[in-house]
DNA sequence: CTCTGGATTGAC
DNA sequence: TCAATCCAGAGG
């Protein structure tokens, strides 16, 4: 996973289609943040899909008094309704930020959570921001990577094709290198196999071995 | 206004 | 395995 042939930013069309497949296709693509202190980032190694009819999705809320859900815009999830290729950054558990890439045409709230990247660019800068030395601890989790890349909430709503935070094209990761599992830390729709990671990457947040493992993509 | 429950991390 | 520790969203 040291091949680093970054190209142009991914176009909007990349982010339209089946969001689960887009999450899969984002593996290997390169996330780069050009900051004042320098560039930092690397290839994406772990993703999760969140869909418009998925109870775990921030844009899907329980209909009051009924046993069903519906997509609804709120102040927090508004960027999910923006055009494909928009950033959605939100806070969880006090001081942790998570970074998502919005998919689907404007008005359709689906997104891919970027859970881990391989630390390839600006490693020492990221070490300073994280306060740890170990490469494995730099970006191996959704809130770790936002801290390492200095992705703040002001980037929520930003266009990932232009500006300081970009997602660049790179060669596709072959199916035999991809593992599919259920999503981490979600209570609702916990059985959906919508998480993807690169099997042999040391920079994945969490490896699955037990009954949770859905298996490699054939 | 009050109440509930996290798309986490790091220490034990 | 578990606490830290705060806000978004819902309901009164």
pLDDT tens per residue across span A80-131: 999 999 999 999 998 899 999 999 999 999 999 999 999 999 999 999 999 9
Report if CB A61 to strand C is under 7 Å: yes
Q: How large is the average pLDDT for residues A148-152?
A: 98
Report if CB A62 to strand C is under 7 Å: yes
pTM of the model as a whole: 0.95
Distance A17 CA to B12 C1' (A): 45
Distance A67 CA to B4 C1' (A): 18
**pLDDT for residue A65:** 73
Q: Look over chain A and give the mean of its residue pLDDT values, rounded to a whole number.
A: 94
**pLDDT for residue A151:** 98
Q: Is the pLDDT of residue A175 over 90?
A: yes
Q: pLDDT band at A138, cuts 50/70/90? A: very high
Q: Find the DSSP H helices in A108-184.
A: 123-130, 142-148
Q: Is the pLDDT of residue A218 over 70?
A: no
Q: Are A123 and A109 in contact (CB under 8 A)?
A: no
Q: Is the pLDDT of residue A38 over 70?
A: yes
- Nearest nucleotide by C1' position to the A75 CA atom: C8
List own/partner pairs for A210-213 with CB under 8 A and 24 or more apart.
A212/A181, A212/A182, A213/A179, A213/A181
Among A89, A92, A52, smallest CA distance to A73 is for A52
Integer Cα distance of A147 and A163 in angstroms: 19
Distance A176 CA to C6 C1' (A): 42
Nucleotides of B under 7 A from a protein CB: 5-10
Q: Are A37 and A125 in contact (CB under 8 A)?
A: yes
Distance A92 CA to C7 C1' (A): 8
Q: How large is the average pLDDT for residues A191-197?
A: 96
User: Which residues make Cβ contacts (< 8 Å) with residue A142, sequence separation at least 6?
Assistant: A96, A98, A99, A113, A114, A115, A116, A205
Q: pLDDT band at A62, cuts 50/70/90? A: confident
Integer Cα distance of A131 and A205 in angstroms: 18
């Amino acid at each position: 996973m040291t091949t680093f042939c970054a190209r142009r930013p991914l176009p909007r069309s990349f982010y339209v289609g089946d969001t689960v497949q887009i999450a899969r296709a984002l593996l290997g693509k390169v996330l780069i943040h050009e900051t004042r202190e320098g560039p930092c980032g690397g290839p994406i190694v772990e993703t999760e899909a969140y869909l418009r009819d998925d109870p775990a999705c921030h844009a899907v809320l329980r209909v009051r008094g009924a046993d069903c859900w519906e997509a609804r815009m709120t102040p927090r999830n508004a960027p999910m309704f923006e055009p494909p290729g928009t950033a959605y950054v939100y806070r969880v558990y006090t001081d942790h930020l998570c970074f998502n890439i919005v998919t689907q045409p404007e008005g359709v709230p689906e997104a891919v959570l970027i859970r881990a990247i391989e630390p390839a660019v600006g490693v020492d800068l990221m070490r300073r921001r994280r306060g740890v030395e170990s490469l494995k601890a730099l970006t191996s989790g959704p809130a770790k990577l936002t801290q390492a890349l200095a992705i703040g909430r002001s980037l929520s709503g930003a266009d990932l094709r232009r500006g300081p935070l970009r997602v660049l094209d790179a060669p596709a990761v072959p199916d035999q290198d991809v593992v599919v599992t259920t999503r981490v830390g979600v209570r609702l729709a916990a059985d959906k196999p919508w998480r993807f990671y690169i099997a042999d990457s040391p920079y994945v947040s969490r490896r699955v071995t037990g009954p949770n493992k859905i298996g490699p993509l054939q």
